[in-house]
Amino acid sequence: METRAAAVTFKGDPKALVGSAVQVGQPAPDFKCLDGLAPVTLADTPAKPRLFSVVPSLDTPVCSRQTKTFEEGLAALGDKVACYTVSLDLPFAQKRFCAAEGVANMKTLSDVHNHSFGKGYGVLLEGLPLSLLTRAVFVVDAAGKVTYVEYVPEVTSDPNYTDALEALKKLV
């Protein structure tokens, strides 16, 4: 499996990412994550525009803000889109976070089992004492093609919310 050296920084320290970088126009890589204790693959997500917001951990300020910002920005689109926050947090922690923060539109997917999302989308951070995913956003159309990609260069920075939401809205 490819490793991309110094692909991002974490608090200014260069870190490698495991997996190839996803490109606009390619088919979205498959994965096997957990929604609660139920396995979910790309094929299990609805065939409509999808946003995958990838965060290191929901229990950190930027990740919390990222999830809540997308939650608010997607409310007007209703069931025309499917939106997911992906992290290595345990499904129980994801559920607790969503309940405590009133997150209802963003579903959570845990990649804790086998890191298949992290490796398939090239977002698994290497060189940390604890496995984490880097911050990224992917938009996938109804046919399963990637239409928007953002790997946030500094893991502790916010993604470009406006561009990601515009990319999703173009598909509706």
Residues forming the active site: 63
Q: Give the tokens for residue 52.
A: 């995958």
Q: Is 93 exposed, middle or buried (0-12, 13-18, 19+ CB in 10 A)?
A: middle
Q: Give the tokens for residue 139.
A: 């938009």
**Which residue type does 135 have?**
R
Angstrom distance (rounded) from CA 135 to CA 171: 23
Q: Is 67 exposed, middle or buried (0-12, 13-18, 19+ CB in 10 A)?
A: buried
